[in-house]
Structure 1
């Protein structure tokens, strides 16, 4: 009877603990939902304020959420005001009045009002392009201001397309700005691109959004449009013009998308702000040359920019490929497809989320905080690069960069094993599996590290429990410690 009573008490206690855990999870879910709602309210307030501020200057914009038809640009002569405004380029022999009038009849669509799109839009508007389409589905964030020069602190939370349109109209009110606030997809791309004689891709780097790069390329080829494309990452950049004057398209060079886990974007790898600024200016230059009738310099060449050495070099591209799936002699791509499915990744330039581990191999930041509060002996391994560790770190973590882990560096492995041996002595039960937790910025590299550690420590897995912390240090900053730096 005593055994049954104890069993019942244990069962009730376990049920209470499960209920308490469920309640805690529901509280966390509601807290996350409330946080997102508060962010959305702040964003909408910022949009209203900025619309009110801009209406005082006489400029009003309709933020388009879908593709709408537009009338063609009317041919016109130059007014005295325009002659004065554009006088410095009117007197250039290669450009002249004819080039200026050609430019005023052109409509250019910029996909992405970011590090490349901002300077490109600014110079195209300043030069007198007739119509400027600005497409971006993101809102202005503080991290954008380091390189996306059309946006300002008072535009935080405002859709990027609207923020860019407001600034452009202040620069040149003669330019018709069309802000689009939706995601480009295979369902709307062809309809949108048909309204613009010239089209170029304005992403921060070629790895940020592979699905959209294939989408943009195929849409341009299928509609006979040139594509002025650039990318930037860390301190390097490149630029070329696809599908122009018989030159190759993007698929001619890259027939298949790279594996999603190998793609590095600016959020993961970083970028020096002026690098996309320089490439974006050259993008604008090539569009101006094409639109005014001068022609492009990079239809079959690629410009490589090395910011560290402050050097440019040009490489010749292979010619248009007869076997290309979209522009070849017997194309297999005759309409736009689902590019996210084709590439195996989302069409976004935000930090990607990998799913390499099962739920049992991961813990949440809330669960880890509970372990800290309880004083449970463990090891926390930080696998970020040194440059990120210099920004911020949890004081009780040990440093073991993923790069060193991948090469199975003996010095770091010995340090980790010594720390495990020392920490295990503090455990109440030295025979139980000792917990080793891995953390990084977003929870991606930590998953890779766990898989590597499981291989390296294969003989010790029975005495070790290796898991990663979901969401990494950014989740820690959002959900546990709001004073912890975010980057």
Structure 2
């Protein structure tokens, strides 16, 4: 048994510890892992909830929004009493109340080209729980260049997708070379989203993070899971490495996110 797990921790994580594939060593790995969650909204809420419960030792939360009442249909770590508060503050209090073992770093800012590299470099794993293409491309580029694995998730109406990029295979730009033209893909505020759907996708992302932290199983490397809640079906779409990718290709054009553009279609 790991000697520095105190009696309360042995009790709290007992269902992990009794698993042969986790045990005290796996729980120690979770407690020693630092994860940056970009977005404390629909996807970030279940990610933060389950990673905190699992005992991820340090959670960083990046978000510059404030809680709105329309968020509460799906953003389950925020309450009606939190309306008007910064999401990072509400999320911090939720995590602290759930698990005092977890250290929470709050970053009340928008991830941008001038801060992404420094933020990513301070964590072992990143979760892309953002809701726009510019941030998704920025997370990809910063993580790929730093060699930091990240989980990507996205939701739309009744559909969601999730995959993981570890740096050993393709990256997000191999899947989407550039963002779609502005206005062609409506966001949740205009198209809506089934409230429970971010919970489904976010839980999958949290699962991937725990596996990466414990070095267990096979991550969704080179595979995209596409989930349709309407038909309750899951399709697995292979992702091929693009040798011409500007980040992970044979002759990359991006070697510093501070010098790339993340406006419009995120093209070079």
Residues 279-302 of structure 1, C-alpha deviations (whole Å, 9 max, x = no match): 001100000010011044311111
Residue 135 (structure 2) aligned to one of 194, 201, 212: 212
Question: C-alpha root-mean-square deviation of aligned residues, in Å?
Answer: 1.5
Residue 240 (structure 1) aligned to one of 154, 163, 182: 163
Residue 252 (structure 1) aligned to one of 165, 168, 174: 174
After TM superposition, give the deviation of residue 261 of structure 1 in Å.
2.1
State whether structure 2 residue 187 is matched by structure 1 residue 265: yes
Runs (4+) of structure 1 exceeding 3 A deviation are 341-344
Query: How many residues end up aligned between the 2 structures?
Result: 264
Partner residue, 1:222: 145
Partner residue, 2:49: 122
Structure index of larger Rg: 1
Please state whether the residue corresponding to 1:118 is helix, strand or coil: helix
Equivalent-residue separation in structure 1 for 2:87 and 2:263 (angstroms):
23
Equivalent-residue separation in structure 2 for 1:130 and 1:224 (angstroms):
21
5+ long unaligned stretches in structure 2: none
Equivalent-residue separation in structure 2 for 1:87 and 1:271 (angstroms):
36
After TM superposition, give the deviation of residue 263 of structure 1 in Å.
2.1
8 Å Cα contact 1:193-1:219 kept in structure 2: yes
Please state whether the residue corresponding to 1:199 is helix, strand or coil: strand
After TM superposition, give the deviation of residue 79 of structure 1 in Å.
1.1
Residues 375-398 of structure 1, C-alpha deviations (whole Å, 9 max, x = no match): xxxxxxxxxxxxxxxxxxxxxxxx
State whether structure 2 residue 10 is matched by structure 1 residue 83: yes
TM-score by length of 2: 0.95
Choose between structure 1 and 2 for higher RCO, CA contacts under 8 A separated by at least 6 residues: 2
Equivalent-residue separation in structure 2 for 1:157 and 1:94 (angstroms):
43
After TM superposition, give the deviation of residue 253 of structure 1 in Å.
1.3
After TM superposition, give the deviation of residue 227 of structure 1 in Å.
1.4
8 Å Cα contact 2:67-2:85 kept in structure 1: yes
Question: Within 5 Å, which residues of 2 pair with 1:30-69?
Answer: none
State whether structure 2 residue 234 is matched by structure 1 residue 307: no
Change (3 A) 1:264 1:296: farther
8 Å Cα contact 1:260-1:343 kept in structure 2: no
Question: Which one has the bigger helix percentage?
Answer: 1
Equivalent-residue separation in structure 2 for 1:122 and 1:268 (angstroms):
26
8 Å Cα contact 1:137-1:182 kept in structure 2: yes
Please state whether the residue corresponding to 1:177 is helix, strand or coil: strand
TM-score by length of 1: 0.53
